[in-house]
Each structure stands twice: as structure tokens, then as C-alpha cells.
């Protein structure tokens, strides 16, 4: 039974052999992480102040998934769209690497996100981006 529970923690939109400790490490310097939440039903991303700064967002209102994906490098956008839709459909966590162009320089980011399901059937992702 515990083996099945352990396996469930590893089920991703794309199957992954990694352990939860590898996917969600305890970071010694959390200032390098950029946080966000995504409400699935409302299609709203809420970005931390540090992520707003990186993405050059001045507005304090949430953005849609489609708008968030526009910040991603053009060559990664279709893959990210498919990955998000698969994760949402299967209620799976996310882990991926993609590129964002910031001030004409390409940066690689690692995204890790967990899905939280509330009793009222609300679903939201809680995640981080880390410049790698």
C-alpha cells in the first residue's frame, strides 16, 4: 500500500522516475525562487512580486494561462501549452524546463508545481520558477 502511495507522488503529465525529494528540494537560498499560483477554474495566474519584476509586469491583477505562456520562448510555447493541458486534465503536478527572453537575453527556468484540490472542488497549482 505504501508503495502505491509513493508511486502516486511520481505521476506527472509526463511519467518521471524522480523522487519527491528531487522534484521539490529544500532550497537553501529561497530568494532565487519566483513564486506563483494558478487557479484552474478561474484561469488566473497570480505572480509574486519578484516574478512580476522578472516578467516586467506592473499590473496587480492575475493573468491568464495563455498570457503567461506568451512570456515563454516561442520554440517552447506549444510544448508548454500541451504540458499544462495534460497536467490539468490528469490532475498531475508539473516539472519542466523552458526558456524566457528577458531584456534580449535568453534565460532557462525550471518550473515545479503541485496541484492542490480543495474540498469545494477548487483546483489550483502552487509553483516556483528558478533561473537555472
pTM of structure: 0.69
- Residues facing residue 106 across a β-bridge: 101
Contact status, residue 94 vs residue 84, Cβ threshold 8 Å: yes
pLDDT one-digit tens code per residue, 46-94: 888 888 888 888 777 778 999 889 989 999 999 999 999 999 999 899 9
Q: Give CA–CA dist 71/123, Å, rounded.
A: 23
Q: What is the dihedral of CA 76, 81, 83, 87, to 10 degrees?
A: 150
Amino acid at each position: 500500500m505504501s508503495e502505491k502511495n509513493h508511486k502516486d507522488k511520481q505521476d506527472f503529465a509526463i511519467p518521471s522516475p524522480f523522487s519527491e525529494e528531487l522534484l521539490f528540494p529544500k532550497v537553501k537560498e529561497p530568494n532565487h525562487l519566483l513564486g506563483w499560483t494558478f487557479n484552474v477554474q478561474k484561469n488566473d495566474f497570480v505572480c509574486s512580486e519578484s516574478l512580476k519584476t522578472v516578467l516586467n509586469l506592473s499590473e496587480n491583477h492575475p493573468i491568464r494561462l495563455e498570457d503567461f505562456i506568451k512570456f515563454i520562448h516561442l520554440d517552447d510555447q506549444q510544448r508548454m501549452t500541451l504540458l499544462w493541458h495534460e497536467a490539468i486534465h490528469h490532475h498531475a503536478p508539473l516539472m519542466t524546463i523552458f526558456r524566457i527572453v528577458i531584456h534580449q537575453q535568453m534565460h532557462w527556468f525550471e518550473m515545479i508545481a503541485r496541484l492542490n484540490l480543495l474540498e469545494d472542488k477548487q483546483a489550483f497549482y502552487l509553483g516556483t520558477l528558478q533561473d537555472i
